[in-house]
Amino acid sequence: MESAVMNLFATPLYRSQLGRVLSEAELEFIQSELGEPVRAIANHSSKNKNILASEEMSAIRAVLQACLDDYFAKIYNSSNDVSLQITQS
């Protein structure tokens, strides 16, 4: 996984890439979740606010958690036993 930290704002911006294309199962799952979108202010979202908890998305969740862990280690470098967690997805 290649990542970069850019000091563009007061809060560092972290950017990374998945490193692969989405699988057919992942794409089908995403499409099924968008079947009945909920209107937001300027866009739409799915009713499901925890899609990364789904089995179809477990590989993507693992990559995102690894990115969170990497960001936390690079930016905060805490000596405490703490970590960032995905709460809604």
Question: How far apart are the C-alpha atoms of 87 and 89, rounded to whole Å?
Answer: 7
The structural domain count of the chain equals 1
Helix (H, G, I), strand (E, B) or coil at 49: coil
38 beta partners: 45
Please give the backbone phi and psi of residue 77, each rounded to the nearest 5 degrees, phi first: 45, 50
Q: Does residue 19 sit within a domain? A: yes
Identify the band that residue 61 occupies on the pLDDT scale cut at 50, 70 and 90.
Answer: very high
Q: How many CB atoms lie within 10 A of CB 60?
A: 20
H or E stretch including 67?
helix 58-75
User: For the chain, what is the mean pLDDT?
Assistant: 88
* Residues comprising the chain, all counted: 89
Q: pLDDT tens across 9-45, in order?
A: 677 888 999 999 999 999 999 999 888 888 888 888 8
Does the residue 70 lie in any domain?
yes
Phi-psi region of 79 (alpha: psi -120 to 50; beta: other; left: phi over 0): alpha
pLDDT at 60 over 90: yes
User: Is 33 part of a structural domain of the chain?
Assistant: yes
Is 63 contained in some domain?
A: yes
Show the domain range for 62.
3-75
